[in-house]
Amino acid sequence: MNDDIKKGLLGIVVDETEVSKVMPEINSLTYRGYAAQDLCEYCRFEEVAYLILNKDLPNSIQLKKFEREERNNRELTKNLYEIIKHMPKKSHPMDVARTAVSVMGLEDKETTDSSHESNMRKALRIFAKTPTALAAFYRIRKGKKIIKPKKTLSFAENFFYMCFGKVPQKEIVKAFDVSLILYAEHSFNVSTFTARTITSSLSDIHGAITGAIASLKGPLHGGANEEVMHMMNKIKKPSNALKWIKNALKNKEVVMGFGHRVYKSGDSRVPTMREYFGKVAKIKKDKKYEKIYDIVEKVMIKEKNIHPNVDYPTGPTYHLMGFDTDFFTPIFVISRITGWSAHIMEQHAANKLIRPLASYKGNRHRKVMQLNQR
Ligand SMILES: CC(C)(COP(=O)(O)OP(=O)(O)OC[C@H]1O[C@@H](n2cnc3c(N)ncnc32)[C@H](O)[C@@H]1OP(=O)(O)O)[C@@H](O)C(=O)NCCC(=O)NCCS
């Protein structure tokens, strides 16, 4: 292959961003300059969502207003509830999320207005409504009645409530909130780049987020948290873990939840999520997954020098919280809508059509023969 080709855009800097950066000097992912783990310690997810969208942390008045708007926009139209009710029960919830956001675009009165002010309002509506759409599907496919959103609950509490009909203890809600903070943004990853590429043709925010959801679904990106759980289920019990991972490495298998395009010596989000995984396991009195986690991690680092990424601890954490495995990546979606939206607005503010070149290796020029001569 031609040496000039950077397959996978490896190492290519394609634009500037103010949204987030992995800062080597503090070895951490930062959102608008704040370390993600510090945000987990001092903030709720709503504050971080505000930060990502508005470039600064809110004061209490700004936060109240933001939360009020989010809570007031959670409800879906009757039409969207009906569409979700009629979706095949076996649909992957990522496809449900993708379709739901697309329908929101059909219903939104500002779809064609891509001004910053309008995009901000639409981003908030997509952010508020997508959890409702997903929770509705969660209930419907189990043959249960839809639970409508409740304005008195926080973003995280409300998601639990709409899925399970109750809010768990505050430590579990905090662990969920932390996972949302850690998933909210990560610069030019595949789904964000997809959103920016769609935006670069001056298409609308609903279309860009619909495309980003499709991109996040893949197992090499957001889908990895689900794959981690499938792997843990295959391992079954801690006493099988060592043999399983050694065998996987011998067979040159890709071990899900490990490796990263940017972090080569450890994902800075992992220690925080690992701590909350431990807290949830303790509350649930189930240490099995933690034991499997530690054994597989130790072998991956010792034998391959490949460290876990954030999907490794989130997978079993969501499982212990009671979510179905195919809902793990949709939870990533409800958080990442903030990061995608910020990037979509950044792309609009300084747009250049994204249109790379390809090195052609197909047929040389050929003459067309008419059908009866071929
Ligand atoms: C994330 C990922 C796609 C990054 O890929 P990348 O930057 O293109 O790195 P590569 O796939 O080229 O990996 C470099 C080497 O490490 C190995 N490697 C990377 N991740 C690995 C993993 N999870 N399991 C086993 N080997 C892995 C590759 O096989 C490759 O080895 P080689 O040089 O002998 O061929 C890759 O690590 C992966 O597939 N991970 C599993 C999926 C996952 O957890 N995704 C979530 C990301 S947040």
Q: What is the CATH number of the domain that holds 96?
A: 1.10.580.10
Considering the candidates 177, 204, 267, 311, report the single residue annotated as catalytic: 311
Q: Give the CATH number for residue 244.
A: 1.10.230.10
Report yes or no on 174 lying in a domain.
yes
Report yes or no on 359 lying in a domain.
no
| Pairing, β 20-23 against β 34-35 | unpaired
User: With bands split at pLDDT 50, 70 and 90, how would you rate the model's confidence at 222?
Assistant: confident
**The dihedral formed by the CA atoms of 126, 129, 133 and 136, expressed in degrees to the nearest 10:** 170
Residue nearest to atom 20 of ligand 1 (CA): 259
Q: Judge if 207 and 125 occupy the same domain.
A: yes
Total tally of structural domains belonging to the chain: 2
Q: Judge if 340 and 280 occupy the same domain.
A: no
- Which of 40-49, 215-224, 287-296 shows the lowest mean pLDDT across its residues? 215-224
Residue ending a domain, among 285, 301, 321, is: 321
Inter-CA distances, 17 with 59, 91, 187, 192, 210, Å: 24, 35, 8, 12, 21
> Does residue 186 line the site of ligand 1, with CB under 6 A?
no
Q: Judge if 234 and 116 occupy the same domain.
A: no
Report yes or no on 293 lying in a domain.
yes
pLDDT of residue 50: 98
Taking the chain, what is the end-to-end CA distance rounded to the nearest angstrom? 33
Q: How confident is the model over 119-158, as pLDDT tens digits?
A: 999 999 999 999 999 999 999 999 999 999 999 999 999 9
Range of the domain at 138: 16-219+326-349
What are the strands, taking DSSP E only, across the chain?
A: 20-23, 28-31, 34-35
Q: Judge if 311 and 341 occupy the same domain.
A: no
Q: How confident is the model over 39-55, as pLDDT tens digits?
A: 999 999 999 999 999 99
Report yes or no on 366 lying in a domain.
no
Q: Judge if 183 and 232 occupy the same domain.
A: no
Q: How confident is the model over 55-101, as pLDDT tens digits?
A: 999 999 999 999 999 999 999 999 999 999 999 999 999 999 999 99
221 annotated active-site = yes
What does pLDDT average to over the chain?
96
pLDDT of residue 94: 97
Q: Judge if 256 and 138 occupy the same domain.
A: no
Q: Judge if 312 and 334 occupy the same domain.
A: no
260 annotated active-site = yes
Q: Judge if 106 and 162 occupy the same domain.
A: yes
Report yes or no on 340 lying in a domain.
yes
Taken in order 148, 336, 305, 234, the sign of the CA dihedral is: positive
pTM for the model stands at: 0.95
Q: Judge if 285 and 309 occupy the same domain.
A: yes
Report yes or no on 268 lying in a domain.
yes
C-alpha span between 270 and 289 (Å, rounded):
16
Q: 311 C-alpha vs ligand 1 centroid, how far in Å?
A: 13
Q: Judge if 230 and 315 occupy the same domain.
A: yes
Report yes or no on 270 lying in a domain.
yes
Q: Which of 182, 221, 252, 258 most suits a substitution to test ligand 1, by most atoms within 8 Å of the C-beta?
A: 258
pLDDT of residue 139: 98
Q: Judge if 93 and 209 occupy the same domain.
A: yes
Q: Judge if 213 and 337 occupy the same domain.
A: yes
Report yes or no on 208 lying in a domain.
yes
C-alpha span between 145 and 160 (Å, rounded):
15
